[in-house]
Amino acid sequence: MAPALRSFRTLVPALCLVQLGFATVFADHFLLERTMIGGNAELYAFLRERLAVFDLPPDFYDAQYQNAAYDDAVDYLVGIAGAETREPFRFRVLYIWLVQGLTALLSDCETIRSGCGLQAAAFAAKLVNWGAILATFAVLVAAAPRVRRDSPVTLALAAVGTFSFGTLMTAPFVMADILSGLVFALAALFYLQHRFLALVATVCAGILVKEISIVLGVLIAAELLRADRRPLALILAGGALPLALFVAVRVALGGDPLSLNYGWDVSRGEFEIRYFFMHAKGLFVPFLTKVLFGVGVPLLLLLAALRNDAARPALLPFAGVCAALLVANLFLASMVVRVTAPLAPLLAAALIAHAGLLYERQPRRAI
């Protein structure tokens, strides 16, 4: 076995193991971005007020109260209860319907708008997260050529792509991020397998899970660069469909057609850039550090692989998705580790599929 190949097969699993161990220990107590918060009477009173749609007793408590992103969890729970919730959460209808349906199927509560119903919805959300984790791992393994699906590199990358820092931070809570990670993994798989219509359908479904999936349109656009590309009209139609769905769901639910997040009703000329200034502090170093933890080893391997002439063309579309998501994160979201976490399975799928290119010896460049 060539030394480069041998070292690659040893180094990648080792790096993945280091990340998994670190994330397991520190994900719940990450200094740069909190996962859990301590409870107090004032916070619980605030949450009960936000959850007024539920008939909760004064002493009601649920572990969801410990979610540092409690505003997000509250908005999801209100939507799952069938009440009107805030933008952009009410546009994430696929996630809400999925948890809502599973809650109705498994719960024996008289009504979902009760303490019993809230806890049933939280349990259903955990089942959705669990199922999404298992499915993401299976999708990442499927991205490898058949002869390499049981290799240590494939399994290590699939593990670290599935169990990212953000996944471990989000898993116990009512949050759409893990399901969004599955969407990113599927989009990567279908792009790698040249299944264009499946890719378009996945991006459309992803927009109904979490609107950040719109950045996967970069993979649709990348079809234009392929030598064996589909007809131009089909690619343009495939690119237009997610955009049309993005607008349609907002119009149907009474929102601004170009609503992106709080304070971003673009068609009304409303822009909110406070998150950018928050992330810009410290010359973006804290932001980039959070990105590194959010994506982890797949990001490091991508940056290394882009130096490889053989691998670069195949990986550039995935780098484009990364760039688009990071720009969106800078302007639209306060959280970073959770928001960037779906990039981990996306990049893991690309690296798994093209692992054979990553250890090819680079030709010497003239000095």
Output the pLDDT for position 356.
67
- Each residue's pLDDT, cut to its tens digit, for the chain (367 residues) gives 445 555 666 788 888 888 888 888 888 777 788 887 776 777 778 888 888 899 888 888 888 888 877 778 889 999 999 998 888 889 999 999 999 999 999 888 888 998 899 999 999 999 999 999 999 999 999 999 988 888 888 999 999 999 998 898 899 899 999 999 999 999 999 999 999 999 999 999 999 999 999 999 999 999 988 877 889 999 999 999 999 999 999 899 888 777 776 655 666 666 678 888 899 999 999 999 999 988 989 999 999 888 888 888 899 999 999 999 999 999 888 889 999 999 999 999 999 998 766 655 444 444 3
Amino acid residing at 126: K
CB count within 10 Å of CB 256 equals 16
Output the pLDDT for position 11.
81
- Tell me how far CA of residue 209 lies from CA of 21, 91, 223, in angstroms: 29, 8, 24
CB count within 10 Å of CB 198 equals 15
Question: Model pTM greater than 0.95?
Answer: no
| Separation of first and last alpha carbons in the chain | 30
Measured distance CA(83)–CA(22) in Å, rounded: 39
Give 78's contacts (C-beta < 8 A, 6+ positions apart): 50, 51, 53, 84, 85
Three-state SS string over the chain comes to CCHHHHHHHHHHHHHHHHHHHHHHHHHHHCCCCCCECCCCHHHHHHHHHHCCCCECCCCCCCHHHHECCHHHHHHHHHHHCCCCCCCCHHHCHHHHHHHHHHHHHHCCCCCCCEHHHHHHHHHHHHHHHHHHHHHHHHHHHHCCCHHHCCCHHHHHHHHHHHCCHHHHHHCCCCCCHHHHHHHHHHHHHHHHCCCHHHHHHHHHHHHHHCHHHHHHHHHHHHHHHCCCCCCHHHHHHHHHHHHHHHHHHHHHCCCCCCECCCCCEHHHCCCCCHHHHHHHHHHHHHHHHHHHHHHCHHHHHHHHHCCCCCCHHHHHHHHHHHHHHHHHHHHHCCCCHHHHCCHHHHHHHHHHHCHHHHCCCCCCCCC
**Token couple for 194:** 């040249």
Output the pLDDT for position 190.
97
Give 343's contacts (C-beta < 8 A, 6+ positions apart): 184, 294, 295, 298, 299, 321, 322, 325
